[in-house]
Amino acid sequence: MSVERSDVEAKLREIQGVIDETTQGAKNAGVLAAVGGVALLLVVYLIGRRKGKKGSARIEVYRS
């Protein structure tokens, strides 16, 4: 059995296709993770602001 150049080229193209798909999937996952992280930080910030306003004590001092 002999291996021809076209067989090797076809196999390399197949491997390159799998690598390209994997790379694209990893990029998409990274972008989604970054967007999710920013959204989470924004939600935590807004909740913290609300609790801070809600729990702050206001004292009025009257002088007679």
CA distances for 12 relative to 6, 9, 37, 56, angstroms = 10, 5, 37, 66
pLDDT band, very low/low/confident/very high, at 48 (cuts 50, 70, 90): confident
Q: Average pLDDT for residues 33-52, to the nearest whole number? A: 89
Q: Is residue 62 part of a domain?
A: no
Q: Is residue 18 part of a domain?
A: yes
Q: Is residue 41 part of a domain?
A: yes
Q: Is residue 60 part of a domain?
A: no
How far is residue 23's CA from residue 11's CA, in Å, rounded to a whole number?
Answer: 18
Residue 5 has what pLDDT?
A: 93
Q: Is residue 33 part of a domain?
A: yes
Q: Is the pLDDT of residue 28 over 90?
A: no
Q: Average pLDDT for residues 24-40, to the nearest whole number? A: 91
Residue 21's φ and ψ, nearest 5 degrees, are: -65, -45
Q: Is residue 46 part of a domain?
A: yes
Q: Is the pLDDT of residue 57 over 90?
A: no
Domain count, the chain: 1
Q: Is residue 9 part of a domain?
A: yes
Residue 63 has what pLDDT?
A: 80
